[in-house]
């Protein structure tokens, strides 16, 4: 059984992630196959739209398959990870800029690399089990795959909050924060998919959509905007500690699980991107961090503690959330020169 099923059905180009036992985690080969399919269908008049879904009930895609990155990185080989991210980001940009409708059906966990595949299309559908998140700071990485751009477009300072805490969003919150467009009950997905295949009319998505369950974020917006107003990690921690509310206490606990360096960089990325940023702005900035990540960040240690040894006791480079020097953040996000992401030439 292939890890990904790519085929043309009726008027639709179909991509189905097919690693349900691995929560459809994205491999390097899957990234390349998605890109090749998008390239093939771009000029094919028989394909009116692209439909992306996933096998199983538990996840659309819970992230990238990072075991090989750990294996190579701990041996001092950083080129595999750099190549993975470079090619994955190019695929993410192609989805975001695709000239035809791209419909995605998002159930269960949609996180990290899954956001890169499922949350940049033109018609992003969530079902009742959707749990969308960017939890990268917990493994020493920053929100990437264009996710930093989605966060930058979220209302107020919500993107900073979601990107640093990794808080999960149900269907209503995913729509509110700008990670999805429509709620369609999952029982209706087979009929929706059949109509999309038969007609090639992406308008079927809106016709099938109903009101999403109420989420938590709208009621939290004012508190998030106030406490995440500072533009540095130290400033946010000071504000949260001084506040002492239940929300502040919960948020400090969530932040305490992540890499101080990654969180500080994620905040600075949000400061730089802003609501008018493009997918290319986001990917270019993300790649500055991820290109350096295996060698100069907490990434490998985060994977060790979370996925390899599973001791949940990472030894971060910085002792405490208020002790990340500004120059360390600047160094991780500095331009890469000739090693920078060159989407412009690679997307032509």
Query: Hey, which residues are catalytic here?
Result: 64, 113, 136, 144
Three-class SS of 204-217: HHHHHCECCCCCCH
- How many Cβ atoms sit within 10 Å of the Cβ of residue 100? 17
Taking the CA of residue 92 as centre, how many other CA atoms within 13 Å lie in the half-sphere pointing to its CB?
A: 33
Please report, for residues 135, 206, 236, the alpha-carbon distance to residue 240 in angstroms, rounded to integers and kept in the order given. 20, 40, 6
Structure tokens of 91? 């695929």
Question: Is 124 in contact with 104 (CB distance < 8 Å)?
Answer: yes
* Residue 50 to residue 202: CA distance in whole angstroms: 9
Is residue 313 within 8 Å of residue 83, measured between CB atoms? Answer: no
From the list 64, 92, 95, the residue with the least C-alpha distance to 80 is 64
Close Cβ partners of 263 (under 8 Å, ≥ 6 residues apart): 137, 164, 233, 255, 321, 324
User: Residue 44: CB partners within 8 Å, gap ≥ 6?
Assistant: 8, 13
Question: H or E segment at 173?
Answer: helix 171-177
């Amino acid at each position: 059984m292939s890890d990904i099923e790519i085929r043309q059905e009726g008027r639709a180009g179909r991509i189905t992630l097919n690693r349900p036992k691995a929560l459809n985690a994205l491999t390097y080969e899957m990234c390349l196959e998605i890109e090749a399919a998008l390239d093939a269908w771009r000029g094919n008049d028989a394909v009116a739209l692209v439909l992306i879904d996933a096998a199983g009930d538990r996840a659309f895609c819970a992230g990238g398959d990072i075991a090989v990155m750990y294996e190579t990185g701990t041996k001092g080989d950083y080129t595999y990870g750099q190549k993975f991210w470079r090619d994955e980001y190019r695929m993410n940009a192609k989805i975001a800029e695709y000239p035809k409708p791209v419909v995605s059906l998002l159930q269960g966990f949609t996180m990290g690399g899954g956001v890169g595949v499922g949350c940049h299309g033109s018609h992003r559908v969530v079902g009742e089990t959707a749990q969308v998140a960017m939890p990268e700071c917990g493994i020493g990485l920053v929100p990437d795959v264009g996710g930093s751009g989605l966060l930058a477009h979220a209302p107020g300072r919500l993107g900073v909050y979601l990107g640093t805490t990794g808080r999960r969003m149900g269907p209503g919150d995913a729509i509110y924060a700008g990670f999805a467009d429509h709620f369609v009950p999952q029982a209706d997905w087979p009929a929706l998919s059949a109509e999309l295949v038969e007609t090639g009319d992406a308008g079927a998505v809106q016709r099938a959509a109903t009101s999403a369950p109420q989420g938590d974020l709208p009621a939290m917006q004012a508190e998030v905007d106030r406490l995440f107003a500072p533009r540095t990690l130290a400033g946010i921690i000071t504000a949260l500690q001084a506040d002492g509310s239940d929300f502040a206490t919960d948020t400090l606990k969530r932040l305490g699980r992540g890499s101080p360096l990654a969180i500080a960089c994620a905040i600075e990325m949000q400061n730089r991107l802003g609501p008018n940023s493009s997918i290319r702005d986001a990917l270019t900035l993300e790649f500055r961090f991820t290109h350096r990540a295996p060698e100069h960040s907490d990434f490998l240690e985060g994977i060790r503690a979370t996925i390899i040894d599973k001791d949940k006791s990472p030894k971060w480079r910085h002792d405490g959330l208020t002790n990340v020097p500004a120059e360390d953040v600047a160094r991780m996000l500095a331009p890469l020169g000739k090693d920078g992401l060159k989407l412009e030439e690679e997307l032509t």
